[in-house]
Homo-oligomer: A and B are copies of this chain.
Amino acid sequence: MRIAELSERTGTSVATIKYYLREGLLPRGEPTGRNQATYDERHIRRLRLIRALVDVGGLSIAATRDLLQHLDEPGVSIGRQLNQAMDTVTRARSTGYAGDREPARRFVDELVERRSWAIDRDDPAYGNLVDVIAVIAAMQGPAGEALLADIDRFAQVAEVAARGDIAVVAQAAESDDAVEIAVVGTILGDALIAALRRLAQFDEAGRVFRRPGGS
């Protein structure tokens, strides 16, 4: 198909498609003339994946490109591909916190010990959590304190999510789509949990604050 049809079928403007082509997010089409190329279903699928990662996942163009490169890498084991892809995403979420990280590191270490998590301090996920905790602690207000006091509750929520996540990946482990399922499930899963949490809060608030005869 021509670029106009690719645009129409994905709801993405031709200018945006050309930008993704230039930035290397979308592979070039098959050349059919000096300034023309033809695209196929793989381009449609890739374009929809890019839009989901950027629009819903909130990834930058650079992070999306890095991530897609890992998805495309041939001859790499699924486990390694998955680790690389997740590292890329986690690094992309860095907060750029510039202050002292030591107190946050101790806070995370204590949490990891309480939860008996077997993790590697070299995982970008560890540094990312330290970052987030450091920024929250730096707020020094009651809102930040309430969040940190509640860290085990959030950790429990994360454990429930992670148990399901890994079960899904384990089930898909043999398929070609395992890495894409893991990466998309993690990035868009974050957005999905956030959106569902907001709606569940409305339901729960109604139960707690407005229930007739409730306390």
Contact = CB atoms under 8 A, between A and B. Distances in A.
The quantity of this chain's copies bound in the complex is: 2
The interface centre, meaning the residue of A123, A158, A165, A172 with most chain B CB atoms within 10 A of its CB, is: A158
A130 to B, nearest CB: 9
Contact of A190 (B129, B180, B197): B197
A188 interface: yes
Interface residues of A, number: 94
A93 B194 CA distance: 10
20 contacts: A11-B138, A45-B140, A52-B138, A56-B131, A112-B199, A118-B207, A126-B199, A128-B198, A133-B192, A142-B175, A143-B181, A144-B188, A146-B168, A146-B172, A150-B164, A151-B192, A157-B161, A158-B200, A162-B201, A170-B209
Interface of A: 11, 45, 48-49, 51-52, 55-56, 58, 79, 86, 90, 93, 95-99, 112, 115, 117-120, 123, 125-126, 128-129, 131-133, 135-136, 138-144, 146-147, 150-151, 153-170, 172, 175, 177, 180-181, 183-186, 188-209
